[in-house]
Amino acid sequence: MTATRDKEVAMRSVWIAMTLLVIAGGAPAGTVPGSYWYVVDHITDVDEGNRVVVWAALPPAWHGQEVTVGDIVPEPVAILEDPVTGNRVVEWVVRFDHDSPPPLHTFFHFDFDFTEKPVHVDVDPRQVKPYDRQSELYQQYTRAETWIQTRGPVLDMTRRIVGSEAGIWPRVQLIYDWIVANVKYEVPGTRGRDAESVLEDRRGDCEQFSVLMTAMCRSVGIPARTVTNAWTTGGDHVFLEIWIEGYGWVPADPSLGQMLGPDGGGFSRDEVVRMMEDRGVPVGDPRWLLGNLFDQRIVMTVGNNITVKSPTLGHRLIFQSLRSGGRAAQPAASVIDGLNRDLVQGAFIVTGERLADEEAAHAMTHQRLANLFFSEGMYEVVEDVCRQSIEQYGEGVMPWINMGKVYMHKGEYYKAEAAFKRAIVGKSAKRGEILESRLWAHNYLGNCYDLLERRDMAREEYQMVIDRDNNYRGAKDYALRYLEKPFSREKPE
């Protein structure tokens, strides 16, 4: 593989002595190694003038974690900083020699060491001090911005919720309680990512829950901001923080808090207990996640509308939501020119170890980003990884779902049926995987029965999904479609 870059950028590893939070005497006890990886895979064609530009968030200093960033590979064009939110963003650029064979894949990564701790803030409403409304912090985190409206329907509803309550913390509690009780968790949520859209549709994902509560708090003069984290076990999440004078930033997680209520947010009590018990979260009190935050996460960004100026593009970029960067951002934090279109790109984070090399990272890519390969029809790429995952995690959910999709693609419907049944009874402590098991595994099983001409059994599976009334990743819409007409041989969604 031959790659060229701008003259000032060499293809080598660089140590950037960037301690995001100064740690006296070196790394503290309990420090965990980790690494961030962004991959662009299945590169088959490169044209002259090609380039891959990627922006990714560097974990910030935050009161629930300490982070030191080490090697950043390849050497970045720049490390950019948003002066308003304080977020740091790494900018990478890679160019390939179009006269040489395509490189198949390319990686961008950085290593880090971190310590984490749960956050517990017990707010006494009687001790809350009044805000300094002229302070920079107050002005910044009570203003309206893209996605976070503070007038119109948001303000009207918030006034109805808080009523005559004048206390700052009681107002926060009322807003939190209303969102937990009235907004339904769905992935994807409403098409609009902004607070008004979420309020109108009364549904959303974790980010939309947090955006709505942030907007509601700001609308009545309470500073708030969203926070994005990567889970140490994979995936990401968004919660929010409210600034309370005398206490500082206080966490709130209404989307997960919904699961702690009597109805479990649509999950069974056993499922909720399984998800929460190893995190030290008591089941039964949604308000526990207003003031408390369990660990097992790495905060990646704070706030929305992260703004940096790209030296490569020569203009300002505004990310309404950066998350961990790349294709996960809104808008996407990657630009790919002059390469084939059927690429797979995505990010994952590994904690507790450092991947030895790009070969190990490539194997991890197939495991962590399996759904992206499926979406491009690359079933053979992940088949071996599915088998390895099943050997390692025999009672899991996603390895069996993925293996079932491979069998369906190969026309081995009885094997697919068995795999999806294993997924349905599989155990997981992750909300997304439980929803995959309760919804999509039944949809796929219904597909199998249709292909095996067992229409009555197929309809039972689709009806089960419909009765659960959760449109996670379009599962209910999918079930309604194939309840009306049998599934025919096509790519599983």
Q: What is the mean pLDDT of the chain?
A: 87
Q: Looking at the domain 119-294, which fold is it?
A: C8orf32 fold (3.10.620)
104-118, 374-388, 479-493 — most confident range: 104-118
Angle between helices 413-424 and 398-410 (to 10 degrees): 170
**pLDDT band for position 354 (50/70/90)?**
confident
pLDDT score for 21: 32
Beta-bridge mates of residue 111:
35
Extract the runs of DSSP E, i.e. beta strands, from 294-418: 297-302, 306-310, 315-319, 334-339, 344-351
**pLDDT band for position 64 (50/70/90)?**
confident
Instruction: Specify whether the CB–CB gap between 297 and 231 falls below 8 A.
Output: yes
Q: Summarize the confidence of residues 332-341 as an average pLDDT.
A: 95
Q: Boundaries of CATH 3.10.620.30 in the chain? A: 119-294
In this model, does residue 190 exceed pLDDT 50? yes
CATH architecture under which domain 380-484 falls: Alpha Horseshoe (1.25)
User: Which of 1-10, 111-120, 412-421, 473-482 comes out lowest in average pLDDT?
Assistant: 1-10
Angle between helices 441-451 and 455-468 (to 10 degrees): 160
pLDDT score for 104: 86
pLDDT score for 366: 64
pLDDT score for 10: 31
User: Which of 15-24, 272-281, 293-302, 353-362 comes out lowest in average pLDDT?
Assistant: 15-24
Q: Boundaries of CATH 1.25.40.10 in the chain? A: 380-484
pLDDT score for 433: 82
Residues 89-104: pLDDT tens digits? 999 999 999 889 888 8
Residue type, 170: P
Residues 25-40: pLDDT tens digits? 334 447 889 999 999 9
pTM for the whole structure: 0.84
In this model, does residue 381 exceed pLDDT 70? no
Residues 135-168: pLDDT tens digits? 999 999 999 999 999 999 999 999 999 999 999 9
pLDDT score for 330: 95
